[in-house]
Each structure stands twice: as structure tokens, then as C-alpha cells.
Amino acid sequence: MAESPALPRYLEIQRDLQEKIASGEWGPGSRVPAEHELQALYQCSRMTVNKAISALAGAGLITRRRRSGSFVASPKSHETILQIHDIQAEIAASGRPYRFEILARQSRKMTDEDAKRLGLARSGEILALVLVHFAANRPFVHEERLLNLAVVPDAATESFSAAPPGTWLLGRVPWTDAEHTISAEAADAAIAARLGIPAGAPCLVMERRTWQAGATITWARLTYPGATHSLTSRFSPGGAMT
């Protein structure tokens, strides 16, 4: 059996087209039949066809131009969606016990260095933290973090005893923009000692800046021992269409 998928018409069409593109039957640059042709082919209304094609256009598989028609897009890059989970949740999900230690905490007026990291010109109060996250009592990642107290004043009096600042923020302040930078660096002596690795060992470093409506909320720098951590993502173009 398995023959009445109860699959909506527009998804059926969408998958049909997608399959033709994925298989190479319609190579990059080929013309996709016009909406009225597909409408006749599939015996449905134009809106239904439109919904299918528009979805593929949104996913970047097809580009559309008025009067000219729709064409199979030629990929110019690999694109992947990187899911960066909350550290606490990530460790908990792996079944290992989680804890963290705050090594340093300081409220201060923004230094030039702080301002640069937050991407801000003018001054203000910030909260600076240094902490280490542990998975099964072994150091997992080293975190340096700056919080812009102008945007998150509550943080000044928060103890962060229940949840680390990253988790605390995530559930409290909605962000509208984030910038991630991933790089490889040699561990400096201080961080190496805290992570229990040799100085100079390669580390995966992730820097993140987060904004809400133009205002920088926070900056974080996460240093993972390179030997134990990597980022993996699997991706299919036009993925969200089950």
C-alpha cells in the first residue's frame, strides 16, 4: 500500500519539481515550465502551482523573473545551517552531568577593548564574566562574556547560580541579529590551564555578538579544545519541506 500519502497537492508538485532538479534532469539554467503549463499538467489552480514554485524559489533552488520565466538556479556556494545549541542543553542531552564555574566577575565601565568587542563606539556599564563549563567533571569549554548592562540591567544583580549567562539570556531577551565567527587558535597559557590542555594546543574558537534592534546585547568567546570538539551539520537545500 502506502499509496494514499494524503500529501497536499502543492507539496506533491513541489517534490516533483525538486526531484527533477536534484536528479539533474533539469540542469542549472534550464527553464521551468510556466505556471499555466504546470497548472494544465497537474490539473490544479495556478495558486497551487505558485505555492510550490515559490517555496522552491525561497529555498534558492529556482530563480524567477517576470515575463522571462522560472529557471533552475546554479549554486554558487555550499550553504549549511549550523545549529549551535545552548551549552547546558547540549551537555545534558548527551547524558553527562553538567556544571559550570564562574572564575571572574566584574561590573565596570566599558574599556576600549570591551567597546571593540561589543562593536560599540560610546561608553557604558558592562558586566564581564569568565567561566568554564564542565561535562562529567571534565572541562568542556571556556567562556568569556560581556553583557551590555544598558540593554540587560537585570544582569547586574543576577547571581547566575541556577543557569549560566548564555542560557539565562536566551530565555529572557529576544535577539534579532547574531554574528558568529569561527576560527582556530592556539590556546594561551591561562586558558590551557583552565581547560586542562597543553599551552599552544589547537582550539576551536567561536565568537558571537548578539543584537536586539541595533543594540548590542552581548559578546561571547567560547574556546573548545580542538581535540575533543567539532561542529557538524547536515543540510539539504530546500530542507524544510517534509
Partner DNA sequence: AATCGAATTATGTATAGACAAATAAACGAT
Partner DNA sequence: ATCGTTTATTTGTCTATACATAATTCGATT
| Binding flag, residue 234, its own copies (CB under 8 A) | yes
By CB under 7 A, the count of residues binding DNA is 27
| Binding flag, residue 41, DNA (CB under 7 A) | no
| Binding flag, residue 204, its own copies (CB under 8 A) | yes
182's grid cell: 569561527
Local structure of residue 154 (DSSP, 8 states):
G
Q: CA–CA separation, 146 vs 219, rounded Å?
A: 5
Contact by Cβ (8 Å): 172, 147 = no
Residue choice 15, 20, 22, 44 for contact with DNA (CB under 7 A): 44
| Binding flag, residue 10, DNA (CB under 7 A) | yes
Cα distances from 192 to residues 13, 100, 140, 201, 205, in angstroms, run: 55, 17, 12, 8, 13
Residue choice 7, 41, 82, 190 for contact with its own copies (CB under 8 A): 82
Beta-sheet pairing, 62-65 with 31-32 = unpaired
Q: CA–CA separation, 130 vs 134, rounded Å?
A: 14
Which part of the chain contacts DNA (CB under 7 A), choosing from 16-24, 52-60, 91-99, 153-161? Answer: 52-60
Interface residues with its own copies (CB under 8 A)?
A: 21-24, 27-28, 58, 74-86, 89, 170-171, 173-186, 200-205, 208, 212-213, 224, 226, 229-237, 240
Interface residues with DNA (CB under 7 A)?
A: 6, 8-11, 32, 34-36, 43-48, 50-51, 53-54, 57, 64-70
